[in-house]
Structure 1
Amino acid sequence: MKVVTAQEMRTIDQRTVTEYRMPSLLLMERAGMAVAQTVQQRYPDQLSRGVAVFAGKGNNGGDGFAAARNLLRTRVPVTVFLLAPREAVRGDARTNLEMFAALGGEIVEITTEADLPSLQSRLGHYGLFIDALLGTGLNSAVSGIYATVITLMNAQPAPTVAIDIPSGLSADSGKILGPHVWADCTVTLALPKPGLLLYPAARAVGELEIADIGIPLPLLHDPSLRLQLLEAEEIAGLVCKPRDPDTHKGTYGHVLIVAGSPGKTGAGALASLGALYTGAGLVTYALPQGLNLAMESRLLEVMTFPLPETGAGTIGEAAFSALEPLFSTVDVVVIGPGISAHPETGRFLERVVQEVDLPLVIDADGINHLARNPALLEAGEAPRILTPHPGEMARLVGLSTAAVQENRIEVAREFVQKYRGTYLILKGARTLVAGPDGHVAINPTGNAGMATAGTGDVLSGMVGSFIGQGLPPREASQVAVFLHGLAGDLAREEKGERGLVAGDILHRLPQALQRMHHLPPSRPAIR
């Protein structure tokens, strides 16, 4: 599913009207009907106490007027609190306001501070609020009477349904612009917006429903839209193809994991098992020779390959020559988990990046070494898939972690377009997958319990696994992050978020894959 900025959505609306001859009034009516239907389905017990619609003078307010009328005609008591003089409402919004009034709907203008005490005295009587104040066009902090009304709304226990986006949030980023509505449910129109999916703004969205308002399908799938939300059906289409009975372990890829150092041997073990548990046919774990025996006795299904090491017990520069024969027998290399910051290990990694003509998945310490010379990514033709967390990304691009988090999509897109042939998995809440063409996908799965050591190592092995099984780098990355998060969600269902560990995710990867074969008939709301 495409994800659109406020301007892209305006363009889609305009093209719907001009190219497909659909009246804008009809789009507003469809929006109002969708909101009214959501309210009736989700909150039937609150409706007898009445619904308060808080509306501005623009099209978001117009959607609110249409929702109010559709509720009123089913005998739900509705009051519209209009934060503008009635004569300031124009166009389709004015038409819907007049239709609501013609049905006998109550309209209360809130235009000055003097109107607030009366409003405050009434708010506790309503069973539900609808936020139709500002919509997606906001680009600065809410102030004045709007900010006061938002504060009054948030202070009440009544659930709030926001139309398109909770007022006070940026539609185009995860930024909170100032005072904002805390919604229990948001009904966004036609397509989701980035600000509904990215944190911290996503905390204020509640459950997200995406309403069909009749936009023609060619516009919803326009290839010029470069942001998407990953969906289970799409992932299932990539991983649920039945295996041919006449195959063998070599059919499903040989993944080489180059990882580990004293104290961090488990990183490579987790990556190796992440590859195996998602279907890799063969996995070899190459690690410092002094650590090999411990892993040989522990990882029964994984082959190990002892490497020359430094005096500190980390992978030495001579390891490159030792690995050269193996490079010709594997399909993909995962490098970096737990390899340490040792300078000689860094020189080894640089040779791998420059000279190995295989897909490379680079994680953790591997990224930290690359941060000293990211131009190495320009060497060779084979794809590189980097899997940084926000701190590692900050080191790669020379920004603060806060700056990365505030502009995740832009930072990811600029990086992959600078280093052609590079794919990026920017981990975190709503992990991003970015490709060289600037296309970015947002992953909806996963939870805060996954913020624990080793989960990223599991993910890097999964990416290598799906590349080894034949998926292109972009699709392999998208499948990996979706299933990784889904396995984390399955673990949370059983264990909760506190105390969840990387092994819990590993052991639920087969279950997550199986879940793709048995999808529910309809897509659930995004939480």
Structure 2
Amino acid sequence: MKIVTSRQMAELDRVTIHTYGIPALVLMENAGRSCTEWILRILEEKVGGPQEASVAVVCGKGNNGGDGMVIARHLHNRGAYVEVFLLSEEDAMSADARTQYEILRRMDVEIRVIRDTEGVEDLRTYLEEVHLCVDAIFGTGLSSPLSGIVREVVEVINLSMAPVFAVDIPTGIDATTGRIMGEAIRAESTGTFGLLKLGHVLLPGSIHCGETEIYDVGIPQRAVFDAQIKTEALDEQVVKSMLSVRPPDFHKGDAGRVHIVGGSPGMTGAPCLAGSAALRMGAGLITVVTPESLRPIVEAKQMEVMTHGIPDGGTGYFTPGMIPALMEVLSKADVIVVGPGLGMTETMPAFVKELISRIKVPFLLDADALNALSGEADILQGATAPCILTPHPGEMARLMKETIESIEAARIDSARHLAEEERVTVILKGARTVVATPKGDIFINTTGNPYMASGGMGDALTGMIAALASQGLSPNDAACAGVYLHGMSADLLVRDHPMTPVTATDVIGNIRGALQQILGEPPPKE
């Protein structure tokens, strides 16, 4: 599902109107009618139909306000009692919004102009009686924080008990970043046009949107194709297309060999979690490769996952001198993971850098393998095999010599820059995990929840991605499918046990459920 910035959407509108000759009033009519159909369904559920309903439609001066006035007209025609509240004088409206305003006047729809605090109070009073409020104040073009009367109106709407339907995007949400511009409408539902905007998907904007539907308002598909939009939301259909059914003669060798390099004193659980996740995700043969002095501990935690110890002189840590013996073991791998529980020592950066230069099969760098490259991400340009990075914001900040705040403020741009510069696949973890490819394509994950906030989740994700790559998925597809299934596994658990924290072990144990959800298979019998 393609996602656009506000600028990309404005350009698509411009091309539709000026290149294809579809008038803006036609787009506005299509938008308003589409929203009206959903609003009618809402009113049917709440009060039994439009004839029993009263609705407030709050409109700004631009085309978003024009969309709202189209909605008001159609609701009026269907028997609803509608009052329109305008945040603009007629002569300040856009040309198309003014056209809609004139139509409403001729239809004797009640229109009030909010000019001052008294107008805001009129709205507050009316909202006490309505069954629905339609937010058509600002659309995707908002570029500065709300202030003055507009902000007061948004606050009044939020304080009311009226459910809100937002036209295109809730007022106050930056359509490109999802940030709140001072204050923002909290909508129960949102009807958007043509394509999703980033503000519908990124936090905190997505929370304010409620349930979101996308309406075809007449933008030509050719225009969308020509726009070469490189950002996409991951959904079940996309991920399902990446997975395949195993043939009857499939065996464990076909499912791939995953080797996980990790473990240090006190952190043997991390590579074990990654190994368990790889097993559940379908890798054929998994080996946790760890310092020999830790191997008995790791082996005691594993059943179907193999272990291999590299002589370490009893230190419990990997060192550069262990690389020749390690490479002999890794020569049998189809995919290599480096990092879970690796620990940080003075020689760990040298160990990781040399290992990167020697690996010849697809590999993932996670946790301390990323910390070992702090400020030296350009080392990755020397890799001769495809590489996937799985940083959280702190690890990303260290890699790029940035602050966590700057990474979080520009998650998409940060991930894309690192992926393109170092020619790697980047998974920037967090709420709305971002996957960036070496070609600059962006995928935003839509699964996952705050009850996943516990240790080991990253290890589980790493193992799942490695397993998918070992079964033939490209690094990009393995990254996308892995993050989606990882989040879905947790979402299914929280659905069945609301408001209950989940552990990495829980998520690993429910990978089968996530796969069944994607592939459409029935749940297993108890």
Using the size of structure 1 for normalisation, the TM-score is 0.95
Residue 330 of structure 2 is aligned to residue 327 of structure 1: yes
Residues 373 and 399 in structure 2, CA contact (< 8 A), matched pair in contact too: yes
What code does the residue aligned with 2:275 have?
Answer: S
What code does the residue aligned with 2:479 have?
Answer: S
What code does the residue aligned with 1:193 have?
Answer: K
Aligned residue for 2:3, secondary structure, equals: coil
What residue number does 2:139 align with? 135
What residue number does 2:455 align with? 453
Distance 2:338 2:383 in 1: 17
Residue 322 of structure 2 is aligned to residue 299 of structure 1: no
What code does the residue aligned with 1:179 have?
Answer: E
What code does the residue aligned with 1:506 have?
Answer: I
What code does the residue aligned with 1:441 have?
Answer: F
What does 1:469-484 correspond to in 2, within 5 Å?
A: 469-484=471-486
What code does the residue aligned with 2:8 have?
Answer: E
Given candidates 465, 487, 490, the residue that maps to 2:489 is 487
Residues 86 and 109 in structure 1, CA contact (< 8 A), matched pair in contact too: no
Q: 1:300 to 1:222 in 2, by over 3 A?
A: farther
CA drift of 1:19 comes to: 3.4
Residues 308 and 318 in structure 1, CA contact (< 8 A), matched pair in contact too: no
CA drift of 1:519 comes to: 8.3
Deviations 1:33-87 (A, max 9, x none): 1211222223431553411111011110011111111211111111110111123
What does 1:170-319 correspond to in 2, within 5 Å?
A: 170-222=174-226, 224-239=228-243, 241-309=244-312, 312-319=315-322
What does 1:358-507 correspond to in 2, within 5 Å?
A: 358-420=361-423, 422-507=424-509
Distance 1:409 1:326 in 2: 37
Distance 1:417 1:79 in 2: 52
Aligned residue for 1:180, secondary structure, equals: coil
Single out whichever of 324-333 and 132-141 deviates more from structure 2. 324-333
Distance 1:519 1:104 in 2: 55
> How many residue pairs end up in the alignment?
518
Single out whichever of 386-395 and 44-53 deviates more from structure 2. 44-53
What does 1:147-162 correspond to in 2, within 5 Å?
A: 147-162=151-166
Distance 1:188 1:440 in 2: 21
Runs of 5+ unmatched residues, structure 1: 521-527
What residue number does 1:125 align with? 129
Distance 1:269 1:327 in 2: 17
Aligned residue for 1:378, secondary structure, equals: helix
What code does the residue aligned with 1:413 have?
Answer: R
What does 1:36-47 correspond to in 2, within 5 Å?
A: 36-44=36-44, 45-46=46-47
Runs of 5+ unmatched residues, structure 2: none
Single out whichever of 97-106 and 120-129 deviates more from structure 2. 97-106
What code does the residue aligned with 2:27 have?
Answer: L
CA drift of 1:450 comes to: 1.0
CA drift of 1:112 comes to: 2.8
Deviations 1:318-346 (A, max 9, x none): 33111222332211111101100112333
Deviations 1:112-138 (A, max 9, x none): 334233333222111111110011111
Aligned residue for 1:136, secondary structure, equals: coil
Distance 1:122 1:383 in 2: 61
What residue number does 2:29 align with? 29
CA drift of 1:443 comes to: 0.5
What code does the residue aligned with 2:54 have?
Answer: G
What code does the residue aligned with 1:466 have?
Answer: L
What code does the residue aligned with 1:160 have?
Answer: V
Distance 2:367 2:389 in 1: 9
What residue number does 2:56 align with? 52
CA drift of 1:218 comes to: 2.6
Given candidates 110, 114, 117, the residue that maps to 1:113 is 117
CA drift of 1:178 comes to: 0.3
Given candidates 68, 71, 80, the residue that maps to 2:84 is 80
What code does the residue aligned with 1:395 have?
Answer: R
Q: 1:315 to 1:110 in 2, by over 3 A?
A: same
Aligned-residue sequence identity (percent) comes to: 39
Residue 348 of structure 2 is aligned to residue 345 of structure 1: yes
Residues 308 and 316 in structure 1, CA contact (< 8 A), matched pair in contact too: no
Aligned residue for 1:186, secondary structure, equals: strand
Residues 2 and 220 in structure 1, CA contact (< 8 A), matched pair in contact too: no
Residues 293 and 314 in structure 2, CA contact (< 8 A), matched pair in contact too: no
Given candidates 153, 164, 171, the residue that maps to 1:167 is 171
Q: 1:16 to 1:471 in 2, by over 3 A?
A: same
Using the size of structure 2 for normalisation, the TM-score is 0.95
CA drift of 1:313 comes to: 1.4
Distance 2:430 2:500 in 1: 17
What code does the residue aligned with 1:434 have?
Answer: A
Distance 2:433 2:382 in 1: 27
What code does the residue aligned with 2:78 have?
Answer: T
What residue number does 1:90 align with? 94
Single out whichever of 479-488 and 63-72 deviates more from structure 2. 63-72
CA drift of 1:372 comes to: 4.3
Distance 1:263 1:126 in 2: 60
Distance 1:335 1:310 in 2: 21
What code does the residue aligned with 2:23 have?
Answer: P
Distance 1:512 1:117 in 2: 49
Distance 2:214 2:389 in 1: 32
Aligned residue for 2:502, secondary structure, equals: coil
Q: 1:372 to 1:89 in 2, by over 3 A?
A: closer
Residues 55 and 83 in structure 2, CA contact (< 8 A), matched pair in contact too: yes
What residue number does 1:525 align with? none
Distance 1:22 1:519 in 2: 44
Residue 13 of structure 2 is aligned to residue 9 of structure 1: no
Aligned residue for 2:488, secondary structure, equals: helix
